[in-house]
Amino acid sequence: MSDMTDKPIRSFGRTGGRPLSPRQRKLVDELLPQLRVPPDTAVLAAPLDLFEDLDLFEDKVSELWLEIGFGGGEHVSAQAKANPQAGIFASEVFIEGLAKCLSDIDDMGLSNVRLWDEDARELVDLLPGHCLDRVFILFPDPWPKKRHHKRRIIQPPFLDALARVMKPGAQLRFATDVRSYADEALVTFLAHGAFDWQARRADDWRTPPADHVRTRYETKNLGDIAPVFFNFVRKT
């Protein structure tokens, strides 16, 4: 039996929400199993090669992206539609968010999205080294109380894991609207050493990137600052 103390501290809150509609329940029951990333290192050993063989993506893909904590899925679906060359692993544990994303995938006929409904850190640990071209961590749970800051996903061990699976030159975008998380995350990234911050002036982190997709969450203005966007490149 494994020791529960070996598991990382949970970095996300509740996973349930409002009852699903009949259509959403059907998609969760029938479509999610088809799109779920298999938790198998053998299957994931050579992601792009095996995706084609296993029909994980119908179209030819040349890049592998990861989005961690996609919320309602608006960003994932928009990026997938705009970037058919990218196979996107999208991670979310919140069942209502999964159902919304499945609805978008179904409505838009997307074939280049696969879903992971467990802790994203487990997926990262399963991936082979230097396989990711791009990573999005947009508005993760801020755990605002100081005693809960240890639950924030941006921690040195997780950056170690991301650095292992990102290709040299791969891009990572982190966004938050919580000042304490912005400060803490930036310090953590810069201290890590594997990530080169791309900002050269204030507007580089204050202005949403050209390809950013604004989500319903952002329109609620729940944070204590305007959103900031930190773009990093994995050092060679």
Q: Which fold has domain 14-234?
A: Rossmann fold (3.40.50)
Whole-number percent of the chain with pLDDT over 90: 75
Q: How far is CA 173 from CA 30, 76, 122, 148, 208, in A?
A: 32, 13, 20, 23, 11
**Three-class HEC string of 18-67:** CCCCHHHHHHHHHCHHHHECCCCCCCCCCHHHHHHHCCCCCCCCCEEEEE
Q: pLDDT, tens digit, for every residue of 142-178?
A: 988 888 799 999 999 999 999 999 999 999 999 999 9
Q: Are 80 and 57 in contact (CB under 8 A)?
A: no
Q: Are 112 and 59 in contact (CB under 8 A)?
A: yes
Q: pLDDT, tens digit, for every residue of 75-105?
A: 999 999 999 999 999 999 999 999 999 999 9
Spatial distance between the Cα atoms of 106 and 101, rounded to a whole number of angstroms: 9
Spot the catalytic one: 104, 117, 133, 141: 141
pLDDT value of residue 211: 96
Task: Tell me, yes or no, if 141 is annotated catalytic.
Answer: yes
> Which pLDDT band holds residue 2 (cuts at 50, 70, 90)?
very low
pLDDT value of residue 131: 95
Spans of all domains in the chain: 14-234
pLDDT value of residue 3: 39
Using only C-alpha atoms, the chain has a radius of gyration, in whole angstroms, of: 17
Longest dimension (CA), the chain: 51
pTM for the full predicted model: 0.89
Which tokens belong to 89? 């692993």
For the chain, give the mean pLDDT.
89
